[in-house]
Amino acid sequence: MRFALVNNERCEAEPKLKGLCPYCHAPVIAKCGAQKINHWAHKSLNDCDKWWENETNWHLAWKDKFPKEYQEIVMNNDITKEKHIADVHLPNGLTIEFQHSSITPQERLSREKFYKDMVWVVDGTRRKRDFSKFLKGRTTLISHQPGVINIYKFYCSEEIITNDWSSSTVPVVFDFLGMPKQGDLVDTRRLPLYCFLPQKVQGQACFFEITRETFIYNTVNNGWQIFTKRQMDILEEAAKFVK
Ligand SMILES: [Zn+2]
């Protein structure tokens, strides 16, 4: 995690600093090495949030694109007494969860139910062949017009993306860029994010492209819900004319 409690204040990891986990209050150790972005680590995750996963640099770097005060927010449900650490939770009510590891449909759904207004950001580089399959599986559903962004329909016989994520009830954003090393040649098609919508057309998943900057700006500045709603409306309208 990026933040631990040190004398009751949220602090980033620094060498030799000792802290407590804001969720389970177990001691956590500051990890400040060359390999990984500075972070805090539990000695054991046994008593911590069962949804918490050991974080990759991808995970830590994504969170850090958002204002510090919105990262790693402990959220409570007063009725069920359930509590979890949201990766990013914004004052407008939106939660953003970054997912590197595979996740079962049951666990995915329970998180969607808990956070309600949320968006997933998925590490699309975890499995090497997913990106090429993704490129093969898409067709343009609505082409570009002024003020309207491209929406694609996604066909894929091997169901790489649809397998884990197609039944999602919230938007799912795929990041196929990952964490390229300096000097790596990057396929420019990996630069945008690809946001899958919960709505389907003829049973097929649909998505639109969005720049990283627009995604971050919209989520932080209240625009995300309106933005995705508009894409869904366009999609539903277009679906009427798809044979
Ligand atoms: Zn903990």
Please report, in tens digits, the pLDDT of each residue of the chain (243 residues total). 999 999 999 999 999 999 999 999 999 999 999 889 999 999 887 889 988 887 899 999 999 999 999 999 999 998 888 999 999 999 999 999 999 988 888 999 999 999 999 999 999 998 888 888 888 877 776 665 555 566 777 665 555 565 568 788 999 999 999 999 888 899 999 999 999 888 877 777 788 889 999 999 999 997 898 888 888 887 777 777 766
The rounded Å distance from CA 26 to ligand 1 centre is 6
Chain centroid to CA 51: 14
| Residue tagged 């798809």 (tokens) | 242
Q: Which residues surround ligand 1, an ion (CB under 5 A)?
A: 21, 23-24, 48
pLDDT number for residue 60: 93
pLDDT number for residue 70: 96
Interstrand relation of 193-201 and 172-175 (parallel, antiparallel or unpaired): antiparallel
The rounded Å distance from CA 46 to ligand 1 centre is 8
pLDDT number for residue 127: 86
Task: Give the tokens for residue 29.
Answer: 């150790």
Domain boundaries, the chain: 90-239
Question: Distance between CA atoms of 10 and 1, rounded to whole angstroms?
Answer: 11
pLDDT number for residue 227: 85
pTM (2 d.p.)? 0.90
The rounded Å distance from CA 217 to ligand 1 centre is 30
The rounded Å distance from CA 3 to ligand 1 centre is 11
